[in-house]
Amino acid sequence: MKALVWHGRNDVRCDTIPDPRIEAPRDAIVKVTSTAICGSDLHLYDGYIPAMESGDVLGHEFMGEVVEVGRENHKLKVGDRVVVPFNICCGECFFCRSGQWSCCERTNRDADQATKMFGHNTAGLFGYSHLTGHYPGGQAEYVRVPYADVCPTKVPAGLSDEQVLFLTDIFPTGYQAAKFAEIADGDTVAVWGCGPVGQFCIRSAQMLGAGRVVAIDRVAERLDLAKQSGAEAIDFSKEDVYERLNQLTQGRGPDRCIDAVGMEAHGTDSWDAVADRTLAAVGIGTDRIHALRDCLRNVRAGGTVSLSGVYGGFLNMVPLGAAFQKGVTIRMGQCNVLNYMDELLAAIEQGKIDPSFVITHRAGLEEGPGLYETFKNKKDGCIKVVMHPHS
């Protein structure tokens, strides 16, 4: 079959590799009908996540048709159409039972590595390195889905791939970020990053009662899309974000700040962004955290900072003093996709939201390597890429 394979930094290829097979009794094999590239894939592409190996198959946002099931999988049958959350979960452990799906303690085949890095083990993920189970991903014609009787969710008839594909990750991720922000009716919510995740943070904040949403980025078409959703926009390359947010909030700062940027923030020429780059270059820094610093500095006293952007390593110059002195609540984490699946699927079915609004590029798998480059560099108006491996 064809699949998008990581070969090194900035080197993704469309290779021909062996078809996946059932390996465990709860597995299913899914024929992928739609798969997307995520900002999280860019962290792999850019070499920010350690423990990738040449030959790893990418992709954690995918859906398709079940073509084979293991003998102990009683949930799925051949022919079912499913969306597959990016977390791989056993459904039985302490964390799965308490809804902390992203920390399932049984599915990460690289548990030792993860424990060394993070103190404790976290869940297996599709297509996401030898820290999270080295499971081949779904940017492929077929994929093996382990524990396929837990997370994969059947798609109700009548909904298109484009309507439901983002239930695998970015819609619930944006929704969780807004939930974690603890938005009260009428709150002012500022969202850093207007990529696909940021767009869903904006929509979710509105669904959860925000009075005003302010979107921050520097890419014109992403800010425009945020405005179409009813957000006010700040271009951080042209305006002083702190000044403008204070103007909008009687000098107090936004009630809730959501970071939808993560570890590869740009910071124009600010001193801290220059320091991040320098520290990374000499090996004593990992993440570039300008957006996180901005959230902590801007949030009003007693407010909330919610991180949906991914962080991976050891952070320098975190303004913890600002967070502490202002009594800020900080929440973060990989999305526990399954917690939001039913609610968001219902919102789509009821026509409250059509998640396909973020899609700008549709292609086959062969065009994948070029589209990684286009998405990374935000060329050609690219916001979200969806690939159809069988068309």
Ligand X SMILES: NC(=O)c1ccc[n+]([C@@H]2O[C@H](COP(=O)([O-])OP(=O)(O)OC[C@H]3O[C@@H](n4cnc5c(N)ncnc54)[C@H](O)[C@@H]3O)[C@@H](O)[C@H]2O)c1
Q: How many CA atoms lie within 13 A of 146 on its CB side?
A: 20
CA distance 178 to 182: 7
**Among the listed residues 14, 49, 11, 8, the one whose alpha carbon sits nearest the alpha carbon of residue 35:** 14
216 contact, one of Zn ion, ligand X, none, CB 5-8 Å limit per kind:
ligand X
Contact pick of 20, 39, 64, 124 for ligand X (by CB under 6 A): 39
Asked if residue 183 binds ligand X (CB under 6 A), the reply is no
Asked if residue 335 binds Zn ion (CB under 5 A), the reply is no
CA distance 286 to 292: 14
Rounded to a whole number of angstroms, the minimum distance from the CB of residue 311 to ligand X is 8
Contact pick of 236, 253, 255, 306 for ligand X (by CB under 6 A): 236
Asked if residue 219 binds ligand X (CB under 6 A), the reply is yes
Q: Which stretch binds Zn ion (CB under 5 A): 42-50, 161-169, 229-237, 322-330?
A: 161-169
17 contact, one of ligand X, Zn ion, none, CB 5-8 Å limit per kind:
none
Angle at 13 between CA 384 and CA 374, to 5 degrees: 30
Residue ranges of the alpha helices (H) in 166-211? Answer: 170-180, 196-207
Asked if residue 355 binds ligand X (CB under 6 A), the reply is no
Asked if residue 169 binds ligand X (CB under 6 A), the reply is yes
Contact pick of 76, 90, 231, 348 for Zn ion (by CB under 5 A): 90
**Enclosing H/E stretch for 373:** helix 368-376
Rounded to a whole number of angstroms, the minimum distance from the CB of residue 33 to ligand X is 21
Asked if residue 192 binds ligand X (CB under 6 A), the reply is yes
70 contact, one of Zn ion, ligand X, none, CB 5-8 Å limit per kind:
none
Contact pick of 80, 141, 169, 264 for Zn ion (by CB under 5 A): 169
Let me know if 33 is exposed, middle or buried by CB neighbors in 10 A (0-12, 13-18, 19+). middle
Contact track, ligand X, 198-217, x by CB under 6 A:
x-----------------xx
Contact pick of 34, 35, 40, 336 for Zn ion (by CB under 5 A): 40
Contact pick of 34, 73, 163, 173 for ligand X (by CB under 6 A): 173
* Residue 329 or 356 having the CB closest to Zn ion: 356
Contact track, Zn ion, 114-153, x by CB under 5 A:
----------------------------------------
Q: Which stretch binds ligand X (CB under 6 A): 76-84, 242-250, 278-286, 303-311?
A: 303-311
**Among the listed residues 262, 45, 23, 264, the one whose alpha carbon sits nearest the alpha carbon of residue 139:** 45
Let me know if 17 is exposed, middle or buried by CB neighbors in 10 A (0-12, 13-18, 19+). middle
Structure tokens at 259: 């970071």
Contact pick of 140, 265, 296, 385 for ligand X (by CB under 6 A): 265
Contact pick of 29, 104, 125, 328 for Zn ion (by CB under 5 A): 104
**Among the listed residues 115, 24, 219, 289, the one whose alpha carbon sits nearest the alpha carbon of residue 105:** 115
Structure tokens at 163: 């309507």
**Enclosing H/E stretch for 276:** helix 271-281
CA distance 291 to 51: 25
Structure tokens at 91: 């459904």
DSSP codes of every residue in 97-120: HTT-GGG-SSS-TTHHHHHHHHSS
Asked if residue 262 binds ligand X (CB under 6 A), the reply is yes
What is the binding site for ligand X (CB under 6 A)? 38-40, 42-43, 169-170, 173, 192-198, 216-219, 222, 236, 260-262, 265-267, 290-291, 308-310, 334-335
What is the binding site for Zn ion (CB under 5 A)? 38, 40, 61, 90, 93, 96, 104, 106, 169
